[in-house]
Amino acid sequence: MGKGKKTTTFILAILIILGSGVLVYKSTTTNSVEKQIVQESTMTTETPPKIDPTMDDKENKKTVEKDTNQDKHQSTVKPQKPKEVVSSTYANEKMGWYYKPNKEHQLPEVNNRGKESLAKYRGIYHGDISGKNLYLTFDEGYENGYTSKILDTLRDANVKVTFFITGDYLRRNPELVKRMVREGHIVGNHTDNHPSLPTVSDATLQKEINSLSDAFTKETGATMQYLRPPMGEYSERTLKLTYEMGYRNVFWSVAMVDWRPDAGTPEQNKNTVKERLHNGAVILLHAVNKANADMLGSLIQECRDEGYRFCGLEEIQ
């Protein structure tokens, strides 16, 4: 074989070897990528809905349908807005109002820090304790058909109270709110959308209160001066901001588990309130509770029989 032919043969051999290597490399790379895709698809596979063996077939079917619908919803839901940044520099530790009821008819023990903060910003949780004074308040988150009866009872007994309403309540029940004002009751601010005030920014807090107040004034011609923080949650920041807005925060010294419409009987609810009464008591009742509406007349009469008088929040200095 001549020198030229040997060189050509050598080059061809080199090319064959290199070509084989490229093929091997491509094959290896392809297999590796496919393997990676399989691993990722396994990791992201959705977990099937859990089937509870203690549930019947209909209940399990509902569970599966619920999970499926949830997946569909999650695939179309928009990203949530970032959590609001509180702009105020004042302390914003969220606190919940609480008290320890007693049957000795004495002013109950409350959160000391909360009591100090209320004193600092003219907040209220009791009234004049030098005499047998009672201050009756109702929370109105939504209408459940009992407010007209409550207003009838208050009118017949000549008792004036404070109703704390939300924006939704005003929008749905403007005539009831107008009646409250017309018959001499105070209507207080329970915010537009019932948020926990320490969790929202200064701007949102002000909007929650002002939007309801403005709508109330437009509807009735009256103004709002009292605020009940939703869920009784507050902080020094929220007390200060709302105080600067011209509001007095109103909590309570007598309450019970009555926010459920069917909680208690008329006799049970009346007795619970009476057991916890004391001079200067600010009483919180929920107007959505049927038992409260049914027992209100006898509660007022029995309290009067025991020497108590019903006062308005405007009498609290």
Active-site choice (139, 192, 258, 294): 139
* Cβ partners under 8 Å of residue 203, min gap 6: 87
Q: Could you tell me which of 242, 235, 173, 172 has the C-alpha nearest to residue 207?
A: 242
Report how far residue 19's alpha carbon sits from residue 23's, in angstroms, rounded to the nearest whole number.
6
The residue type at 232:
G
3-state secondary structure of 285: strand
Active-site choice (126, 190, 286, 294): 286
Strand-strand pairing, 99-100 and 281-286: unpaired
DSSP string, 53-113: TTS-HHHHHHHHHHHHHHHHHHHHPPPPPPPPPP---S----EE--EE--SS-SPPEE-HH
Report how far residue 299's alpha carbon sits from residue 266's, in angstroms, rounded to the nearest whole number.
10
Active site residue 286: yes
Active site residue 139: yes
**Helices and strands: H and E segment counts in the chain:** 10, 11
In three state form, how does the secondary structure of 197-248 look? HHHCCHHHHHHHHHHHHHHHHHHHCCCCCEECCHHHEECHHHHHHHHHCCCE
Phi, psi dihedrals of residue 113, rounded to the nearest 5°? -65, -40
What residues are labeled active site? 139, 286
